[in-house]
Amino acid sequence: MAKATKKDDRRLIRIFDTTLRDGEQSPGNSMNIEEKLRVAKQLQKLNVDVIEAGFPIASEGDFEAVKRIAQTIKGPEIAGLCRSSDKDIDRAWEALKHAGEKGRIHTFIATSDIHMKYKLKMEPGKVLEAAVKAVKRASSYTPNVEFSCEDAVRTRIDFLAEVVEAVIDAGATTVNIPDTVGYTIPFEYFNIIKHLKDNVRNIDKAVISVHCHNDLGLSVANSIAAIQAGAGQVECTINGIGERAGNCSLEEFVMILKTRADILPFRCNVATEQITPASRLLSTITGIAVQPNKAVVGANAFAHESGIHQHGVLMEKSTYEIMTPDSVGLKANLLVLGKHSGRHAFKKRLVELGHDLSDEDLNKAFDKFKALADLKKEVFDEDLEALIAEEVLRPAEKYKLDHITVTCGSFAVATATVQLEIDGLPVRTAELGDGPVDATLKAIKKLTKTKGKLLQYNVGSITGGTDAQGEVTVRVADGDKTVMGRGSSTDIIEASAKAYINALNRLHYQKGKFIEGL
């Protein structure tokens, strides 16, 4: 006779992931459609409840990304953000309708006095009217409507309650109370959510959502306080990316619920073993590494250097580890890859790292892996991540590196001869510089005629050893657009060139992305 399963009485908290919308809005985090789709597929594996796929009216690229994700992803609901205007809402549903009943229109308007006066230049009555009108229009397309009171925590509490009640009456099934500027602190946020629970007549007809920014480092703490007060959905991002200081970190929030289930009567549907693959995939795509001491997914999260700590962990892991590496999908690399490794072992490791490649991409990556294995004795996970970033996830290439020749020395001026392909046509030039990297980047800038400004240049070793690959990341700005570029090679000059060209290709994509006037 089968055992009866124990009922889980903990309250379910819905996880709304906005990595592809709010996360992408931070400088350097922009993604093309294929990259967004890869992240969405990993979020599907992570089993989040809602994926906010983008802001459909912002650009043709965003519209197509939301549409593709709505057509492709199964399981999570797919949300699209829109302002409280007919045009925005209509455009959002045009993309989201492909998700059917799982399509969610997420509309918003600011409700704080400072936003109404200086940004909207609208009276409160007109803002309330616009909010209700927007929700009614969205509800004409789908019953799955979320409404956000932008800058809710700086909104007069009575007016906030009035807006929330009115939009629920108009058809909103989720109401979001965002800390848009990361201003609140836990006990204050708790009281705001509790006031709405206690004073809004129809609050039981909608899920209260929270969306916390990290400007004061309190986004996760505020989100915990909010669910304790009655919120049922938390909006967050992988690696905590997002505008300014970022958003509530999905991995931190989820692992708090799991680790402190003894005192927090909440649960969520996230498959925590997919957290590390999700974190690494996002870093690979954006080129923005996670800080080593980042909670849950940082390189040092499960590292123990102190002798006392090492001894304790060897005797009993729970002495200094409150969660296991396996619980967040961090597995020891038991499979050492080298030049004798076959395609099956290579593919198996990529799948474990969260990369499901097409046959064409797998063949391309395997060829590059073999070339790399000829240069290195062992190929580590970090090498594979860099290889995938460079050979599979890179944007469409207007500029492509052909070859570099550099001469330099203690008593010689560095000279770089660079040959590129621009739109498939070979071009070549030579430049002098203050060192080989400077000369190389000057030659690339001359050939591409770019006006992009190099803001940041970082170089590091992907793994240890004298045969390690060097990895270069650059930040390049052109007008109001900023992108990250990433390149790797056993030759640091080549890695620098690849990173700079990668950034220029991303800038080229960005220039064609946004609609004029938005």
State residue 304's pLDDT score: 43
Does 327 map to a domain?
no
Question: Residue 167 maps to which CATH number?
Answer: 3.20.20.70
Q: Decide which of 286, 317, 340 is a domain's last residue.
A: 286
Backbone angles phi, psi at 461, to 5 degrees: -95, 130
State residue 309's pLDDT score: 42
**503 and 456 together in one domain:** yes
Query: Is residue 211 a known part of a binding site?
Result: yes
Does 497 map to a domain?
yes
Query: Is residue 309 a known part of a binding site?
Result: no
**112 and 246 together in one domain:** yes
Q: Note down the domain range covering 496.
A: 399-511
**449 and 374 together in one domain:** no
State residue 396's pLDDT score: 66
**374 and 504 together in one domain:** no
Does 441 map to a domain?
yes
State residue 451's pLDDT score: 85
**280 and 346 together in one domain:** no
Does 3 map to a domain?
no
Does 6 map to a domain?
no
Partners of 208 in beta bridges: 175
**357 and 437 together in one domain:** no
Between CA 173 and CA 86 the distance in angstroms is 19
**117 and 157 together in one domain:** yes
Between CA 424 and CA 274 the distance in angstroms is 39
**193 and 235 together in one domain:** yes
What is the DSSP secondary-structure string of 302-369? Answer: T---SHHHHHHHHH-GGGT-SS-GGGGT-------B-TT--HHHHHHHHHHTT----HHHHHHHHHHH
Between CA 307 and CA 285 the distance in angstroms is 36
**339 and 449 together in one domain:** no
User: Contact, 146 vs 209, CB < 8 A?
Assistant: yes
State residue 8's pLDDT score: 78
State residue 419's pLDDT score: 94
User: What is the residue whose two structure tokens read 């080229």?
Assistant: 508
Does 148 map to a domain?
yes
Here the tokens at position 278 are 């999700």
State residue 462's pLDDT score: 67
pLDDT tens for residues 145-163?
A: 999 999 999 999 999 999 9
Identify the segments of the chain with pLDDT beneath 50: 1-2, 304-314, 333-335, 513-518
State residue 475's pLDDT score: 86
Query: Is residue 32 a known part of a binding site?
Result: no
**433 and 377 together in one domain:** no
State residue 340's pLDDT score: 67
Does 303 map to a domain?
no
User: Contact, 192 vs 157, CB < 8 A?
Assistant: yes
State residue 21's pLDDT score: 96
Query: Is residue 304 a known part of a binding site?
Result: no
**373 and 404 together in one domain:** no
Between CA 243 and CA 104 the distance in angstroms is 22
Q: Which residues contact 472 (CB under 8 A, 6 or more apart)?
A: 457, 458, 459, 486, 487, 488, 492, 495, 496, 498, 499
Question: Residue 420 maps to which CATH number?
Answer: 3.30.160.270
Does 37 map to a domain?
yes
**129 and 228 together in one domain:** yes
pLDDT tens for residues 197-252?
A: 999 999 999 999 999 999 999 999 999 999 999 999 999 999 999 999 999 999 99
Q: How many structural domains does the chain have?
A: 3
Here the tokens at position 122 are 């609208």
